[in-house]
Structure 1
Amino acid sequence: MNVTGSTKSMILNYMNDLTQNFDFTQVSHFTASSIAKEMHISRSLASQYLNELVKEKLVMKINSRPVYFLHRQKMEELFHLVFQNDDFYDLEEVKQYINEHSVGDGDYSQIIGYDKSLAEPIKQLREAFEYPPSGLPIILYGAKGTGKRTLSQVIYENAARRGKINENAKVFKIEFTPTNSEQVSLKIFGDGHKSGLIDQYDYIVFILAGAQYMSESFQEKLCHLIEIGKSANTKKMKYLHKTIRYILLSDIHPHHFMVDCLLKNIPVLISLPLLKEKSKEEIEELIIHFMINEGKKMNKIIKVSSSVLRALVNGDYSQNLIGLQSAIQIMCASALKENTGNKEVIIHTYHLPEYLLRTLPIVTDEDIVYIDTTAYKKSDQIDYILDYFSMIVKSFFKDQDFQESLKDAQHHFDLLSDFLSYKQRVAPERIKGIEISLSNIFDTILKKRYMNLPSGFSYTFAKLMYMNELYHSSINKWQQKNRFDIDNILTQLKEHCINETLIVEEMIRLVNSNLETDIDSFFKLIMIVNLNHYNTVRKTQKIFGIIICHGYSTATSIAEAVNSLLENYIFDAVDMPLDVTIDEIKEILVERINRMHSNADVIVMVDMGSLELLGKSLSTAINCNVGVINNVSTRLALNVGNAILNENNMKMILEKVSAHSMAKYTIVKRQKKDAIIFTSESGIQTAQRMRELFENSLSTKSIPVDFVVCDYNQLISSGQDHEIFNNNNVLFITGTANPHVNGQKFVALEDIISGHHIDIIMKRLSPYLNVEELDHMISDLRKNFTLLNVVGYLTILNPQVLLDNVSVAMDVLQDCLQEKFDGKTLIGLYIHVCCLIERLVTKTAITEFDDLENFEKTHMHFIKCVHEAFHIISKRYNIVIPTSEIAYLYEFIDADHNAK
């Protein structure tokens, strides 16, 4: 029935809005009388329409006295369940149904940080507040502006909504000041002439803010009231039948103001973190949230420059969230004056308050971009970093010996280092101090053990420590999820690399005592792997290389490039200031050379001819042969490094290299590493799952091909110019949607399942696998890439139930469109729709589509058919399919038709 624009439709819309804030303590608005009054119609007409909506399964009915009506879909969304019944006997039956079927502990997603810094406080608060029969008294304390009032309000609302509080309960939010304790005492306890709140109501929730201002006399009365609630003695005990819950909010620790008797009767003390103690990613979310709110007030879209966002994230605020919000309001007000007639308000650095402008971190290599706060998306850079972390961990769980696992893990760490260097840029001044400190700490320990790490490792590790601070919540969550595997690997490392493990533990102790920073288990794992890698070959090496250059990181860059290309630690590096003396260089060189193998020769490569004098001055200080080559370059160092790997005679190396060191004109094509790209419009997590499934099909043999996860939107926008194609020879791209990159082969996921284009995979991998191995791989692909298995890998939902529902939906969609999809198209649609449903369930739907308004006008029939086909799925998973997702579904079907 089409009720659009009718009174019945208006009632349904009103109930949708009303149910949005439903809780069991506020049900009087859900009666036919109340709804009739609000809609200005008769009670009998309201009752008629409401009962019709119940029959249409749009509204639920509670047959109590009075009768209540609730918007069905909104209730299902609120409580994360599906209501099988339309009629309930009373509210208690509804509560019982919710308690038995609801998934989760309530909705706290409106609180930024609910899954990060506030996860533990919320858990403690919820458990204490809902503890039967009347909760446990709670003190929630933290500095002004840490969010105590907001958090206590949301805890109460969730408990009330889920029926954990009696429907007759009254909540009282009372604010203490330095002078009003007596007035509050009178209001709560009354006196001989006037009754207090505890006399008037049987079910009460007290949220007492400013608790640090409670007088001693009030605290003693409150202590007595709490003790009565705990007492088992029912004789002549006034208030014993009362059910009272308490949340006390304080700006300071309760030990500083609370009397002993009260403190002993409040078992739960919960502290909230300061703003500066939150992770950078959480602070960034808060900033965007406040700006969006200001934009709504002004009816404007707010855009903010990346430098302003950086300044706000790194700022210090006197009253935490209050101070941050105040700074944003001042900036928005200032920017609004300049953009009065525009739809957008742009916030520049000159809008920053002076105290933030003074502390603005200066960056030299960042392009200023303007971020639309309404379309803001959290950075996915951390997802890529965590993906490299996962690949390092997985290296130790392949069917290979431990040395191969170490080599594999080092390879993925090198890829991570490249990512941090070229994609995740960090201003040098942000990590310079910690880099120098780490370098000194590592050097102090390693020179005693005659071991080495490349100087670039300190730089990479400093970046990782910075990233750990920036994305602490996400990294910590990843480590907790992978705790068992990481501990397992560390146990293996301790057994196979005992010397390296002991050295790393000593390094960690020094880092902790000097930098006051804890090194987590995963970072310890990385340190051990690198220490092992860079010292295994050196134990038998007969010739070593050292590069010395003037300037910051010049020698380090050449040494790292050559070591990486040769996949061996050939060269150590010494970066020298321009005004350094020969004697100072000699002192450093002597120390480095003495840490190498005692019988080895050393080739020293320098950038200026004057340093050739080093050779003679070194001969009296060391017990080895030293050769010196001047005018070092990356190419020359590469030639020397390659010769060191293949020759045991230093004189022959120097003669050979010198003979070929004349400058020549030539074009050298860099050898690119082969790679397979995995991508998905559903995001990096889905692409990662695809890669894992593909890797499992190659478990019989490790091949030198990188399996790279790439962002789908970046591939679309950059195309062939994406850096992945500059740095790699891409064999083919595979995924759930084609990014249409010119010159690149795309193998759709449904092609692998249906067996189409398997010849492309076989041809591209034939250099690495013989005929028998290729046949084995294809067999494993067919076994692993069944539709059920793929859906099980790509989604968190039950794959069998999901596929059953999607199959029904596809049948309805084909009937409605009056066309039949072929087998390959259907497989592709199954995968696409399953990923779509997961996006909606996890609230990561695609919300943008070019010219969406035109799509809605020209494809109304298709939109209607999709809604009809997905009606059952929408109810089962409590989702609403947005038009933007329907547009992408249309594009998928249309592209498949055009491909035939």
Structure 2
Amino acid sequence: MKIDISSYLKELTKKFNKDNLNLFSANNIAEKINLSRSTVSSYLNKEVKEGNIIKVKEYPVIFLDKETFSTLYFKAGLNEYESLEELFEEDKGTTCNKDILSNIIGARGSLKEQIEQIKTASLYPNNGLPIMLLGPSGSGKTYLAKCIYDYCINEKLIDKKSKFISLNCAQYYHNPELLSSLLFGYIKGTFTGADKDKKGLLESADGGVLFLDEVHRLTEEGQEKLFTFMDSGEYSPIGDNSIKKTSRVRLIFATTESIQSTFLPTFIRRLPVIVNIPSFMERPQQERLNLIDSFFLIESEILKKTIKVSKNVISFLLSSSYEGNVGKIRNIVKYSCGSSYARMRTEDVIKVKTTDLPIECQDRIKDSYNFTNKYQDRLYDFECPELLNVSSNEQKSIATTYFQFIEEFKQLEKNNITREHFINKMTNNVNILLDDLVFNSGFTKEQSLFSVLTFNIRYTFKYLEENYGFNQDGNKILSIANLLYFKGESEILINHPDWNSVKAKLLLFIGTHMENSLWLAKLMLNNLSKYLDYRFLDEDLIFITFYLNSTEMPKIKNKVNSIILAHGYSTASSIANVANRMLKKNFFQAIDMPIDTTIDDIENKVIEFIDNYNTENGLILLVDMGSLSDLTNRLKDKIKGPILIIDYVSTPIVLEIGSLLLQEKNINEINDEILKDIKINKKLVYPNRNKKRAILTCCYTGMGSAVQIQDILYKSLNETKDSFAIIPYDYHKLQKNKQKEMPFQIYDVLAIIGTADPKIDGVKYIGLDQLISGEEIQDFINILKKNFEIDEDKLKKDILFNFSIKKIIGNLTILDVEKVLKSIEQAVDKMEEKLDIKLSNNIRFLLYLHCSCMIERILRKEKLDEQLDIQEFLDKQKEKVDIIKYSFLEVQKEYSINISDLEIRLVHDIVFNY
């Protein structure tokens, strides 16, 4: 076996490069030489210890023949490396000191800020800064203090022969004189039994680290002596204050108590670095699991046995909250392994079950604990820790896809791939993973948990459908339910070395290129978090954004949002609930506030809402008490759209606003019309920032075509579209209210493109028919050139291609373009003849456009809004209506449709009122 593995790895190492790392994993090597993975891993790790093989412990764990690698590349000084980067540091001639602190479990997660604090304090010139570790008993303060000592040695901040001395001050709480003598030393004759001079711990630890645990046990006198030393570096032994000694010792303190209530203010002032250590249950689930894994691996090495731990034991330990914290969990693991070892010491693999837990744990299980099937049995072998069953196959697949987000985005940043390639590849990976979870999973789900997930996701989708037109879809619900079920609350990307540096840029990227999907994903996850008490992460937000982006999502219609903020246990909730039920629309969000809520609290609540909801079309804020001017001044620099603040809350005013929202009034109209006869304090505020530039699209016959023009523009502008907004807007509102309309308050409007000119001074109008004919293409390009960098030739070609009558109708409908245009042309010709009129090219174009959409609308059984004066119109325009109906008889026969009077009226309006 040795010859097979050794010779194979020697040959394989000759082919080593950074693009074929998977070839060097234990799993792949085992497959190639036809041996079991456990046998190969055991052998490889044994050879690592003997110095014959290099082990690189990043994902995936790889093995290289040391002699071959050193011959072909450079001499490797170590047997184990944390990463390839660390290995190749040696080739640069740099010293490879392992960063002890960065390898602590949680260093990239719940302890990230704390580790940065500690490094800052340790690296501070002239012996560093004193550090206070604050946290519950058993949270790992002593372990962290020892890691700080190791870090200082590795960084050459202290000599490697220097000492780490630890003292638990609680042991001397009732004998403060003895504690002082231990710290500062004493001279002969100071007290009975002091028959010779005795040096203290400050002297013994000179040049090293002194760790004082439970330091709150120091008396006030002891604290004073200590902070005097911290100020001057000098101290006196007990018994003779005339003697002055010095010591260059690094001080680390630890306490479980409140600092403000336990220590002298003068002592606190000498503590520039206070590090808060979270309890076991305050740490993320993945970190808790990593800690448990590390404890079992230690026991595996002590007992020299492979340990298999049941999923119920893992489930219990993960959700255990004990006094003593991490230390208590470690002791439970030690006892359980000892219990199993006593039963099975002759076996190669010992099995830890719930019956091996200490009696106190078994009592808890009997009383109230419910196990979950989210976890699997786990295997621990100190000789080959990569065999650790850290997750199910499903979780491994999820982790692989999540890691690909980082790796592919890094390639995008280096310009090795295009934006489209990145989006397409990751979208494809996301869908492959979800298909695999839904259809190919062999894992038996815990039905109660999965049902709860599915129910709440369906409920959230219903909310999105009612409020934003996002259709419910069984496939979407099932896909997201499976992802959240198998992933749980584990943080996957926290273990990726580049996650923290890439995260903000990746979120900014999807915010720019998948804004609609990101907003929906954020809304969905926030809703689910309320119902499921889950803590959703940025990595989940990124994944679900890509998934939603891959589905056929409707363009979400931005609406005016409304919040009721009222003091009292359920005042706001009650008003919002009544209004939403009466209006049959969820217009109002409620925020109930305690009586002592401050203006800062209100501001924070509003900012949180703005971050999670699309408020570009406006936000109405109803507050029962508070300063209107204070709120407006605080919010004007932070809002993304206009905000109407009303310093008054009641059910009637909420219903009045709701009725205006039902009429789809914009925020300007609501501000003008709300309770005209009642004096209320209100103020409409616009964002205090540079306006984003925009192009408006509009259509005489309604918003549908305006939205379609927007889509065609997006296709034509491609890369340039991210620089500005393209906004479909109601033509009749623009014609009536001009620059009072919302887009002009929020955006710098460059141009309007549509089928009818709303005639707004100072804003260039370009008719769609003029783009089709080519007359205005250059004018449009000139507008863009003044504001953005564009590829003029490419843009001109794209516009000419996309803005042809056939291309537009092909985008607007699923109908056969040639066939529908021929039918409509015949109908329009007949109508022109019978009415004895001559239609302009623009009106003829508009009729082609409108009638194509009309035919598809009727085929889809979509209804038009009611027209209250329709009968009056039919009576008044009977002759013209009859001619139009007659002209479209062949169209009706061709498509087996009935063109209603409402539709006939729209055709009439285009012909005679345009």
TM category, shorter:
0.3 to 0.5
Structure with bigger gyration radius: 2
TM-score (norm 2): 0.42
Structure with the bigger RCO (C-alpha within 8 Å, sep 6+) is 1
TM-score (norm 1): 0.43
